[in-house]
Amino acid sequence: MVEAYLGLGSNLGDRAANLWEAVRRLHRAPDCSVERVSRLYETEPVGPVRQTWFLNAVIAVETMLSPLELLNTVKAIEHDMGRPAEGAAERWGPRVIDIDVLLYGEAEVLSDALVVPHPELWNRRFVLAPLQDVLPAGALAERAHARLREIGELPVVRLRAPGSPVDRV
């Protein structure tokens, strides 16, 4: 089994319900078990398209799938939940669900279909903040924390339980 980390985002419809549905589907996928789920974070969209803010999370999964099999599983879930195929939707546009393979154990993957670690992992506050929630203590968690301090004050809001106050991260 390999521990992989997946980034999830949604800014269409019931964003929280979309994230939880993706988590449920990933947990039910063959050879894939969701082990930890971060808090939800509300984040400003990246890119030139005006749109509503995203809810983001990161999950840790234990899997026997290869990196490309995991990517195929993720893409099938996105498709089944209503995300248009690659190239059919606007880059950085709104989406019901977005799932990215961030890390796959210690592996480095470089293919036309998948790059792991995710090439923007260390530049995205909306990924690093929830990633800290699910990473075990150690060098990788320390690197994520240090990088969050370096990249400064991009707007990210950590959400607690529904109806609770929020924290600026």
Distance CA 78, CA 29 (A): 13
pLDDT of 39 reads: 92
The answer to whether 157 and 169 are in contact (CB under 8 A) is yes
Extract the tokens encoding 158: 């950590």
pLDDT of 46 reads: 75
Q: How many other C-beta atoms can be found within 10 angstroms of the C-beta atom of residue 162?
A: 7
**DSSP class of 121:** G
Helices (H), 60-158: 67-80, 125-134, 139-151
Q: What is the pLDDT of residues 71-118, one digit of tens each?
A: 999 999 999 998 766 654 556 668 899 999 999 988 777 888 888 787
Average pLDDT of 25-35? Answer: 95
Residue 167 has pLDDT above 60, yes or no: no
The answer to whether 12 and 98 are in contact (CB under 8 A) is no
Which of 35-44, 78-87, 123-132, 157-166 has the least mean pLDDT? 157-166
3-state helix, strand, coil in the chain (%, to 5): 30, 25, 40
- CATH number for domain 2-168, candidates 2.30.110.10, 3.40.1190.20, 1.10.150.250, 3.30.70.560: 3.30.70.560
The H or E element spanning position 103 is strand 98-104
Catalytic residues: 83, 95, 98, 100
- The pTM assigned to this predicted structure is 0.81
Among the ranges 10-14, 42-46, 93-97, which has the highest mean pLDDT value?
10-14
Residues 6 or more apart in contact with residue 139 via CB below 8 angstroms: none
| Amino acid of residue 154 | L
